[in-house]
Amino acid sequence: MTAAELIRSPQVEPSILSADYSRLADEVRLVLDAGARVVHVDVMDGHFVPPVTIGPVIVEAIRDQVHEAGGVLDCHLMVERPERQVEQFASAGADSITIQVEATPNVDYVVRMVHALGCLAGVAINPGTPVEAVAELTGEVDFVLCMTVNPGWGGQSFIELSPCKVRRLREVLGPDVPIQVDGGIAAGTIASVSQAGATLFVAGSAIFHADDPAAAYAEIAAAAGL
């Protein structure tokens, strides 16, 4: 499947934010072998959010492994002024790049830049950002990420009002733009946002901090009927 086909089909996306970086290739292989086809890369710059995490070098390190398995790399840029970095991620092998609407005054411009680089473009809204913030982007973006935690750390608690926000976001976007959720997604929370209309589910700690990440992946997917 192409990246566009994968993003337009229901996916549980393991976030490598919570992976064991001393064994990253093994961790990625675990989830690919379990059936994952969209690997979520959480990039943080220490400015948009306090932590600094991973960057293009990690994308470059795992891209061949992911692509050879028929998978894609979904890069979530929690960085200020992402227009300064998107080219690095495209060059490193990103298949989709998501920017935070709060991170630049030039959101539409950056979405067009991501497309010009040959990647799918997502935009993310934080819990405190109204769904109307993406109303003008419906015809431009390939998907919208509705954050279900405040970004910055894995392992946080799912914000209970998220399903309601996903429903309101669906009203703004119309029926054709996939909605992604990210943060606190696990077997016990995924059904609520799936029923609300989300189809892309990012899960980090619920998978990689489990004793058996492959089984955890399968359990989360099953909880959403995938």
Q: Is 42 designated active site?
A: yes
- Give the Cα separation of 215 and 219 in Å (integer): 6
- Give the Cα separation of 177 and 217 in Å (integer): 24
What is the three-class DSSP state of 129?
Answer: coil
Closer Cβ to Zn ion, 37 or 76, answer by number: 76
For residues 190-226, b (16+ Cβ closer than 10 Å) or e, as one string?
A: bebbbebbbbbbbbbbbbbebeebbebbbbbbebbeb
By the 10 Å C-beta count (0-12 exposed, 13-18 middle, 19+ buried), 18 is classed as buried
Q: Is 142 designated active site?
A: no
Least distance in angstroms from the C-beta of 135 to ligand DX5: 23
Closer Cβ to ligand DX5, 113 or 146, answer by number: 146
Q: Which of 45, 74, 142, 182 is catalytic?
A: 182
Q: 10 to 49, contacts with Zn ion by CB under 5 A? A: 42
**Residue 97 binding ligand DX5, by CB under 6 A:** no
Sole binder of ligand DX5 in the list 6, 75, 131, 202 (CB under 6 A): 202
Closer Cβ to Zn ion, 32 or 78, answer by number: 78
Residues 6+ away with beta carbon under 8 Å from 224: 10, 12, 190, 191, 194, 201
Q: What x/- string results for residues 48 through 87 when contact with ligand DX5 is judged by CB under 6 A?
A: ----------------------------x-----------
The H or E element spanning position 221 is: helix 213-223
What is the three-class DSSP state of 217?
Answer: helix
Residues 6+ away with beta carbon under 8 Å from 197: 166, 167, 169, 170, 179
Sole binder of ligand DX5 in the list 56, 163, 204, 213 (CB under 6 A): 204
How many helices and strands, by DSSP H and E, does the chain display? 9, 8
Position 181, amino acid: V
**Residue 15 binding ligand DX5, by CB under 6 A:** yes
Sole binder of Zn ion in the list 8, 63, 76, 170 (CB under 5 A): 76
Q: What x/- string results for residues 102 through 121 when contact with ligand DX5 is judged by CB under 6 A?
A: --------------------
Q: 138 to 167, contacts with ligand DX5 by CB under 6 A? A: 149, 151-156
Catalytic positions? 42, 182
| Residues engaged in binding ligand DX5 (CB under 6 A) | 15, 17-18, 42, 76, 149, 151-156, 182-185, 202-206
| Residues engaged in binding Zn ion (CB under 5 A) | 42, 76, 182
